Structure 1
Amino acid sequence: MLTNLSIRNYALIDDLNVSFPEGFVTITGETGAGKSILLGALSLVLGKRADLASLRNEEEKCIIEAEFSIGNYGLKPFFEENDLDYEQQTILRREILPSGKSRAFINDSPVTLDILSRLGDSLVDVHSQHQTLRLTENEFQLKVIDALAENQKLLGQYRETLSAYNSAKKEWQSLLDFQSQAAKEQDYNSFLLQELQSVPLKEGVQSELEEEYGQLSNVETILESLSQGNQLLNDEQIGVLGQLAELKRMVQNISDYGPSFEALHERIQSVFIELDDISVELDALQGRVEANPERLQEVNTQLQLLYDLQKKHQVASVEELISIREDLSTKVGKVANLEAEIADAEQRVASKETELTALAESLRKNRNAVIPKLKNMLQKKLHVLGMPSATFKIELELAPAFRSNGKDELVFLFSANKGSAHGELKKVASGGELSRIMLTIKSILAEYEHLPTMIFDEIDTGVSGEISNAMADIMSGMSKSMQVFSITHLPQVASKGQTQFKVYKQEVGGATTTHIKQLTESERVVELAEMLGGKSISDSALAHAKQLLQFP
């Protein structure tokens, strides 16, 4: 319920703060006093678009705050989904800056206008004569029937299954699309895959082949270098090993004369051993290296094939070719197994469709069961509201496809007069009739659902005192399970409120401002007397006002 509303620098409002009780609240005031301004400010904090013209002082920002008690609204999942702090006393705030920009907050956390609007829709339902078109929408009409049929749990199962069904259909269609496209590319992909599989692709193979090619194509140079190196080490006259052996003997003769001589000898010995190993390795390499023109040609062919493949696939390494080969293998293999996958996907769709059809049929059965009850309730309540001949024709027809709320098309026809043909609400019902029908439907919904705060904005315009009494009784009845506001010009309606507020204007220092206050019992008598007979209050008007309020 709405517990507090604070408005600053909006239209004719300078600074206003008002707290509201639960139950049935009526709001009265002269035409032009600012009742619509209050609604406009509330609509802003509920997420409606802002207008810079709404600022009272264009050099200051406008701030509107609304506090709600939301403990019974089941809104924790909404707060968790949007990463917001959940508080049973939740504050919505809207700021409109002089620049024209606006900001929105929920419990001091900045939010987008969309999030604020979605939460606002769950907190307040504003109903006026020009907002009755929703009544003519099939989805809303089905919602009323589902409330009476207690279809909420079944609808939850249906929507969960519908989501799974749509996902299965999407997957199936994706496979069909892939099959259609892949069929065109299959032959070419198979050719590319065979071409890549014909080459021994493995990591490092290119480096190995390039190294081998370098050796095979330079055999003579390698052998000549190895031979010369061997000769340098082992020549009898000037061989390095011979010279080093002589040096080693010389230093060995003095190695016993101190640690430094011994260390020098060890170093020469180490060098000699290393060079001797090198000599052995040179000799071994000479024995292994030999010219092999056939192998050279083979290596060259393999390298050219790798280079050509890299150029063809526009890559620079064997590793990238391996990745392409794996992708092609997956594609070719997937196409080969696609028929089985498509059959499985089609079976999943069929299974979900069967399950969905059964749930839709259960929804239809429950709906058909309560339609007579709904027609009876509507006609009975409308009779009290001055529409004794109002009748409805409500039927369900099978829709061609699954919808978010089942597989039903609703025929919801209305006739206000005896002998008149039934027709669509939006075509045959007047604005006043739509208002009374909507009030009736909302009152029925209130018996089966926990509705948000309801605001009826002058829906009693143009009706007689007797009918307005009946409308007030309906709103008062609704307020037993929810908070209901009625903005009204009719004393019969205003008197039925558990609490009454008055909106009025004051002129101070040449500036006009709008205010609102809760009326005391004596102030209510005066206000109702003015509504009955004008500013010149007569004794009979006062007596009538007391009678309406049931005051002694």
Structure 2
Amino acid sequence: MIRHISIKNFATIEKAEIDFHDGLNTITGETGAGKSVAVEAISLALGSRADTAYVRSGTKKAVIQMIAEDKNTEYIITREVSASGKNICRINDEIVTLGHLNALCKKLADIHGQYDHQSLLNPDYHIHLVDLYQKDRILPAKEKVQRLYETYTALRARLKALLEETAKNQREQDFMAYELEELQNAHLQIGEDAELEERLELLQNSGQIYENLAGAYQIASEDECSALSAIKHIADNLTEIASYSQDLSELSQRTNELYYELEDIASSVRDCRDNTVFSPEELDETIERSDLLKRLKNKHGKSIEELITYAQELEEKLSGIENADALKEQLESQLAQQRQELLAACEDLSNARKEAAAQLEQKITEELTQLNFNDAKFSISFKQAEHLTAEGFDSVEFLISTNRGEPLKPLSKIASGGEMSRIMLAFKKITGDYDEIPTMIFDEIDSGISGIAASVVGRKLREIARTHQIICITHLPQIAAFGEHNYKIEKQTDDSSTYTTITELVPDEKVQEIARLLGGATITETTLRSAEELIQSSK
């Protein structure tokens, strides 16, 4: 519920304070007085996009403040738009994002204008209205359809990917099998290439290695004055005198240890010498194996470890190709089962919609009758769409006949804008009962109507105002007469500026304003009496 709005430096409004009330609040004014400016200001407070063009000329910023209530909670909403383009939103003096403000204001108020005709003419919007009508039953069924549809589309995507991958792999199957066979025949082992390089180095230098080992062993052990003989002689001499002192004993012990260590080294040198045999066959085999590994690494641009992993991947892909038919059958079976579940859920959703639509048809027809469509027929058409969607398989469109004898046609085919205004009001009366939005703002929805139709619309607005706060911008006296609280917008100019003011009217001023709407600039006693009669008849 909107209680108060303050407007500063917004377009032609320098400063305005408006207190709104429960029930039907009507705002009138001459053409060009600024009624649209007031609606734009309210719209801005409710979260619409800011436009620097609305900042009053010569000022730095426009400020709109609104006090609103929802479920016993009061909100103070502030919008500031600077001439430089800076935009600030506040709720209860706390800065918030525009998205946050929008989320709140959607619960507070809804603005309806001639643009709503376009949404009502769009068949895609019709199913949304049906779903909301019995949302307690329809929305759970709709959520089930959405869950099943997500699973269905995921399975369908998996099957499509499998078929594409299988087709691609089958084209490459022979090549993959050749590569796998080549890698498997190579019997690759991690680290083998490094070991081969080391072995090749030994084999290629085996002659020199043998000569050096033989020479070393000869010096150490075989010569008449070998290193072992010399150290043995030293050790024997020291052993004879080791008992005379601790130092001599330690020297004797160290020399003996040196002898045994050199003896062990000489034995290892001999073994290495004896095992160092030049084999042209082994050298050729080692070179051939090393070349094979180098060729495979260069061919694939991978290390031995990566080639082993690649071979495993090839094996898995080839196995996948062989098992693709089985997996394809499994996915097709799951997809068919999921489709049946989805179709069943869509059928349940469609039945719920059709039951809701039957009730909605009746209620809309009743509302249209009250809005002076005495011969109107209204129908909600259901067709099954070509493709399943997350919304089900229903294609819904509203059909109407406004004159006796005429066939039902889509809403988009009816001619008059005045008829559209009343039809839209009928929908707002019904939807307002279940969307739980406390305030409805109507911006000249009376466009294209007059006379009796205007009085009917005014009465309907008063009826809706029993359960909602209504703020209605109108240019028709028949509708303004129904206002429980009336406001007048006036534009004034001086030598340098234009000013728009908004004033709440007392009863006598309401009579004057309605008389002006009836008779134009000249207000006579006759128009005043007509205005009083119009107000009286609206009660």
TM superposition score normalised by structure 1: 0.81
Aligned-partner Cα distance in 2 for 1:148–1:549? 30
Deviation at 1:526, TM superposition (A): 5.6
Partner of residue 422, structure 2: 436
Contact preservation (8 Å) 1:533, 1:541: no
Contact preservation (8 Å) 1:28, 1:494: yes
Structure 1 stretch 176-185 or stretch 445-454: which is displaced more? 445-454
Partner of residue 117, structure 2: 132
Partner of residue 76, structure 1: none
Could you say if the C-alpha distance between residues 7 and 332 of structure 1 is closer, same or farther in structure 2, counting changes exceeding 3 Å?
Answer: farther
Within the candidate set 389, 397, 417, 2:383 is matched to: 397
Residues 296-375 of structure 1: pairs in structure 2 closer than 5 A? 296-315=283-302, 317-375=303-361
Aligned-partner Cα distance in 2 for 1:274–1:31? 118
Aligned-partner Cα distance in 2 for 1:385–1:228? 123
Aligned-partner Cα distance in 2 for 1:474–1:214? 103
Deviation at 1:458, TM superposition (A): 0.5
Structure 1 stretch 297-306 or stretch 450-459: which is displaced more? 450-459
Partner of residue 459, structure 1: 445
Aligned-partner Cα distance in 1 for 2:97–2:259? 81
Partner of residue 39, structure 1: 39
Deviation at 1:184, TM superposition (A): 0.9
Aligned-partner Cα distance in 2 for 1:437–1:169? 43
Structure 1 stretch 32-41 or stretch 531-540: which is displaced more? 531-540
Deviation at 1:540, TM superposition (A): 3.4
Larger Rg: 2
Which SS does the other structure have where 2:387 is aligned? strand
RMSD: 4.0
Partner of residue 28, structure 2: 28
Deviations 1:176-206, CA, capped at 9 Å, x for gaps:
1112222211121121112112222232121
Contact preservation (8 Å) 1:492, 1:548: no
Q: Is residue 2:399 matched to residue 1:424?
A: no
Contact preservation (8 Å) 1:384, 1:467: no
Identity %: 31
Which SS does the other structure have where 1:448 is aligned? coil
Contact preservation (8 Å) 1:158, 1:359: yes
Partner of residue 183, structure 2: 196
Could you say if the C-alpha distance between residues 325 and 32 of structure 1 is closer, same or farther in structure 2, counting changes exceeding 3 Å?
Answer: same
Deviations 1:208-245, CA, capped at 9 Å, x for gaps:
22222222232222222222333343365664555555
Aligned-partner Cα distance in 2 for 1:143–1:434? 19
Aligned-partner residue type, residue 162 of structure 2: L
Deviation at 1:412, TM superposition (A): 3.0
Q: Is residue 2:133 matched to residue 1:144?
A: no
Partner of residue 53, structure 2: 53
Structure 1 stretch 420-429 or stretch 52-61: which is displaced more? 52-61
Deviation at 1:392, TM superposition (A): 2.5
Partner of residue 77, structure 1: none
Contact preservation (8 Å) 1:63, 1:95: yes
Aligned-partner Cα distance in 1 for 2:395–2:340? 20
Residues 22-421 of structure 1: pairs in structure 2 closer than 5 A? 24-43=24-43, 51-57=51-57, 60=60, 89=75, 95=81, 98=84, 108-110=95-97, 124-149=109-134, 150-234=137-221, 236=223, 239-242=226-229, 274-315=261-302, 317-421=303-407
Contact preservation (8 Å) 1:227, 1:286: yes
Aligned-partner residue type, residue 28 of structure 2: T
Which SS does the other structure have where 1:398 is aligned? strand
Aligned-partner Cα distance in 1 for 2:264–2:506? 115
Structure 1 stretch 446-455 or stretch 381-390: which is displaced more? 446-455
Contact preservation (8 Å) 1:9, 1:15: yes
Could you say if the C-alpha distance between residues 216 and 68 of structure 1 is closer, same or farther in structure 2, counting changes exceeding 3 Å?
Answer: farther
Aligned-partner Cα distance in 1 for 2:6–2:243? 105
Could you say if the C-alpha distance between residues 542 and 467 of structure 1 is closer, same or farther in structure 2, counting changes exceeding 3 Å?
Answer: closer
Aligned-partner Cα distance in 2 for 1:262–1:8? 112
Which SS does the other structure have where 2:433 is aligned? helix
Which SS does the other structure have where 1:108 is aligned? strand
Q: Is residue 2:461 matched to residue 1:468?
A: no
Aligned residue-pair number: 531
Contact preservation (8 Å) 2:117, 2:424: yes
Aligned-partner Cα distance in 2 for 1:208–1:28? 97
Could you say if the C-alpha distance between residues 174 and 452 of structure 1 is closer, same or farther in structure 2, counting changes exceeding 3 Å?
Answer: farther
Deviation at 1:91, TM superposition (A): 5.3
Structure 1 stretch 502-511 or stretch 369-378: which is displaced more? 502-511
Which SS does the other structure have where 1:151 is aligned? helix
Aligned-partner Cα distance in 2 for 1:373–1:225? 108
Structure 1 stretch 537-546 or stretch 188-197: which is displaced more? 537-546
Deviations 1:92-118, CA, capped at 9 Å, x for gaps:
8574662x5767788635467xx8778
Could you say if the C-alpha distance between residues 51 and 148 of structure 1 is closer, same or farther in structure 2, counting changes exceeding 3 Å?
Answer: closer
Aligned-partner residue type, residue 437 of structure 1: I
Which SS does the other structure have where 2:166 is aligned? helix
Structure 1 stretch 206-215 or stretch 363-372: which is displaced more? 363-372
Aligned-partner Cα distance in 1 for 2:345–2:512? 58
Deviation at 1:436, TM superposition (A): 1.2
Could you say if the C-alpha distance between residues 330 and 475 of structure 1 is closer, same or farther in structure 2, counting changes exceeding 3 Å?
Answer: farther
Deviation at 1:457, TM superposition (A): 0.8
Deviation at 1:383, TM superposition (A): 2.0
Aligned-partner residue type, residue 37 of structure 1: V
Residues 500-515 of structure 1: pairs in structure 2 closer than 5 A? 500-505=486-491, 507=493, 510-515=496-501
Contact preservation (8 Å) 2:487, 2:504: yes
Partner of residue 82, structure 1: none
Q: Is residue 2:477 matched to residue 1:488?
A: no
Structure 1 stretch 208-217 or stretch 33-42: which is displaced more? 33-42
Deviation at 1:289, TM superposition (A): 2.9
- Structure 1 residue ranges without an equivalent (≥5): 73-86
Aligned-partner residue type, residue 29 of structure 1: G
Deviation at 1:31, TM superposition (A): 2.7
Aligned-partner Cα distance in 2 for 1:39–1:265? 115
Deviation at 1:303, TM superposition (A): 1.7
Could you say if the C-alpha distance between residues 404 and 69 of structure 1 is closer, same or farther in structure 2, counting changes exceeding 3 Å?
Answer: farther
Aligned-partner Cα distance in 2 for 1:244–1:88? 107
Which SS does the other structure have where 1:337 is aligned? helix
Which SS does the other structure have where 2:374 is aligned? coil
